[in-house]
Structure 1
Amino acid sequence: MDNYFYGWYFKCQSETQTLSIIPAVHRSGQKKSCSIQVITKNHAWSVAYPAAAFHRTGKDIWIGKNQFGERGIHLALHTPELDICGDLRFGALCPLKYDIMGPFSLFPFLECRHSVQSMKHLVCGSMNVNGQEYSFQNAYGYWEGDEGHSFPKEYAWTQCGFPGGSLMLSVADVPIAGFHFRGIISAVLWKGKEYRLATYLGAKTMLAQEGRLRIIQGDLELEARLLEKVRSPLKAPVHGDMARTIHENAACQACFKFRKGDYTLFAFKTNQASFEYELRQ
């Protein structure tokens, strides 16, 4: 494939601090490169690397001296705009029971494939970001990934860890063979039980506007509402080229509600949600 990208999204969050890190490799035609993006509650940075800086060792990936994998993250990244160094160690990962894409994982020509490596795991360690210490002791971690050639033209994505659980929800325009449909993938981990809402299981979007999402599947209903403007600019792929700018809040105010039949499993407001909202009204 001439055009492609592959990236991981790591989120580490304590009660007071959030740090998200996105290592990625991308190719557009003969142009191949890699990058590391770093996001905090109020800032975002993107650092480009030559393709030769990327390599694998076992289950880990390296970009320069920076290492990422199931055991944790090591960063030693020094530029005029971003100076970050430190180590974060991960506890046991919590993967989903099966691929979040379900049968769509078998489709050969999807523009973007999503994966979830861990819904929730412990994070310990520290990172120094431009002189500010980010300390994580028995903190919360989340890990997902994307690969393909382009991010969806329109989509919304949110993720949140909370006492007793974790959730992720994505609603996106999916083009296949000249047709388009609104695809849904969502996983909810609640008190040790995994729930899944997805297009391939009959999920439907009942509301997707003004930062609000409402998904129904049988007797399950999941609602998410963004309560503030998305602000941090990130780079995203278009045919393998990191030429698109999207916006994300790594830690923002949002409301979530999850119901099964007449019973509300949880409903809460938080200031620690991650949210990207690229849907037209």
Structure 2
Amino acid sequence: MFKKYNPALFQGSKNKKGYFEGWYFKLVDSLEETAFAIIPGISLTPDSESSHAFIMVFDARNHEMNYFKFDVNEFNASKKEFELKIGENYFSHHNLVLNLEKGSLKIKADLEFENIVPWPVKLLSPGVMGWYSFVPFMECYHGVLSFNHQINGYIEVNGEKKDFSQGKGYLEKDWGSSMPSSWIWMQTNHFKEQDASLFGSIAKIPWLKKYFTGFIFGFLFQGHLYQFTTYNRSHIKELIVDDDWIKIVVANRNHRIKIEAKRTKGVDLPAPSQGEMTSKVNESLNSKISLKLYEKNKLIFAGEGKNAGLEFVGDIQELIKGLKK
């Protein structure tokens, strides 16, 4: 139960099969010229033969993704706090250190994070998934470990140092057996207002041999987290996906949020299916998200978030149908 209330911790065990767990560090420099996603994790396959730890390095501006594999025994996670080691690489709430080499490619990093802002953990709602965190048979669990934080340090690729001092970061994770067959994911903390940050996800959730469409949206502004989720009785009023835009309206009793996300060119990243990294998800870190927040019918925030992470996988009609169940 201790782990439930500490979603950043390694939630699994290296003895599991058909299981994955991954942490997602989004990094944008202060000039917004360089953006990386660094994803450490573990893939425990049903037959164990192809099980491995991994570190993905996604250079969003150059549209390059590199996947580094490690023996499972090189994966070590603290049981008391978020502290993860994969080979000579280190990850925590406060630090990220890389020492990666593959052929002629060498990637090094030494980064520090300050002023972490996680999704609140409460007794009956231990994180972003609310009471669903206690359900034992979910296909995939999610955690938002920091909406917004400051970065200091550098990433070096083949001797070229990229300065991330005074940059902005975001941190989340997923764990379970597989990613959903259909989902939308978005995130940005690059609004004109420095203390504004958006995270949102809509996904097909298998449930008792059927499924429903679940969703979680959190908008952090001026220290207040506006939550729109399946479990707090919010409702999706509009959901449109075409080649250029993802448009969403979500409302609850007191607030309504309107989102228009511009789709841009992305890169295919490996994703888990029954613990194996055999699926693909196309992700961009160069999208723009227009957001309006209303209290009753009064507009209380309007802005555009840049350097947005955006993903859409699967069938939009499947997600729309699942909202009606």
Query: TM-score, length-normalised on structure 2?
Result: 0.82
Q: Does 1:160 align with 2:188?
A: yes
Please give the root-mean-square deviation of Cα atoms over the aligned residues, in Å: 1.7
Q: Find 2:102's aligned residue among 79, 89, 106.
A: 79
Q: Find 1:143's aligned residue among 143, 150, 171.
A: 171
Higher strand share: 1
> Using a 3 Å threshold, how does the CA distance of structure 1 residues 48 and 223 change in structure 2: closer, same or farther?
farther
Partner of 2:6: none
Q: Deviations over 1:22-41 (max 9, x none)?
A: 10101111322111111222
Whole-angstrom CA distance in 1 between matches of 2:215 and 2:269:
22
Whole-angstrom CA distance in 2 between matches of 1:238 and 1:81:
30
Deviation at 1:252, TM superposition (A): 2.1
Letter in 1 for 2:211: H
Whole-angstrom CA distance in 1 between matches of 2:226 and 2:148:
14
Q: Find 1:54's aligned residue among 71, 75, 79.
A: 75
Q: Find 1:207's aligned residue among 213, 231, 238.
A: 238
* Aligned residue runs from structure 1 range 236-251, under 5 A: 236-251=271-286
Aligned length: 281
Letter in 2 for 1:177: L
Q: Any unmatched runs of 5+ in structure 2? A: 1-15, 122-126, 317-325
Whole-angstrom CA distance in 2 between matches of 1:89 and 1:68:
10
Q: Find 1:33's aligned residue among 48, 52, 55.
A: 52
> Using a 3 Å threshold, how does the CA distance of structure 1 residues 176 and 110 change in structure 2: closer, same or farther?
same
Percent sequence identity is: 27
Q: Any unmatched runs of 5+ in structure 1? A: none
Q: Does 1:186 align with 2:236?
A: no
* Aligned residue runs from structure 1 range 89-108, under 5 A: 89-98=112-121, 99-108=127-136
Q: Is the 8 A contact 1:230 1:275 kept in 2?
A: no
Whole-angstrom CA distance in 1 between matches of 2:214 and 2:294:
21
Q: Is the 8 A contact 2:264 2:286 kept in 1?
A: no
Query: TM-score, length-normalised on structure 1?
Result: 0.94
Q: Deviations over 1:38-76 (max 9, x none)?
A: 122232222222212211245311111110001210000
Partner of 2:253: 218
Q: Deviations over 1:186-245 (max 9, x none)?
A: 221101111111000112222232222222222322233232334211010000000001
Q: Does 1:9 align with 2:37?
A: no
